[in-house]
Amino acid sequence: KKQIMEIELEKYRILVTGADGGHKYILSSLRYNGLQREITIVFKNKNEEQKLTEGIKLRIKGILQDEGPQFGLTLLESKIIDNV
C-alpha cells in the first residue's frame, strides 16, 4: 500500500550508503496507526540529501510504503519541504 505522506522529524539519524558515490538517508521512528514503527526515508535526489543536517527539525514529504506492521515503513522519493 502506497500513499503520499508528510511528516515532521526532530529525532533521526543520517546514514550513508556506498552506492553511486554515497547516498544519504534517514532512519527514525514514528507513531503510525497507533503503533510505534521504524521508518527509513530515501530521498528523490542528491540535492535533497545535501540539505540534511542532524539536530534540526525537518518537514519531509514522500511516498509512504507500508508492507504491514511487522515491517518498518519506507518513505520513497522524499523531498525536504523546509527546515522547521
C-alpha to C-alpha distance for 69 and 84, rounded to whole angstroms: 29
What pLDDT, on the 0 to 100 scale, is given for residue 1?
Answer: 64
Please check whether residue 66 is in contact with residue 1, taking contact to mean a CB–CB distance below 8 angstroms. Answer: yes
Q: Nearest Cα to 37, choosing from 67, 6, 14?
A: 67
Under the banding of pLDDT at 50, 70 and 90, the label for residue 46 is confident
What pLDDT, on the 0 to 100 scale, is given for residue 20?
Answer: 73
Mean pLDDT of 65-78: 95
Q: Nearest Cα to 6, choosing from 77, 70, 55?
A: 77
What pLDDT, on the 0 to 100 scale, is given for residue 59?
Answer: 94
Global pTM? 0.89
Residue 6 has a CB neighbour count (10 Å cut-off) of: 13
Task: Compute the half-sphere exposure of residue 24: CA atoms within 13 Å on the CB side of its CA.
Answer: 15
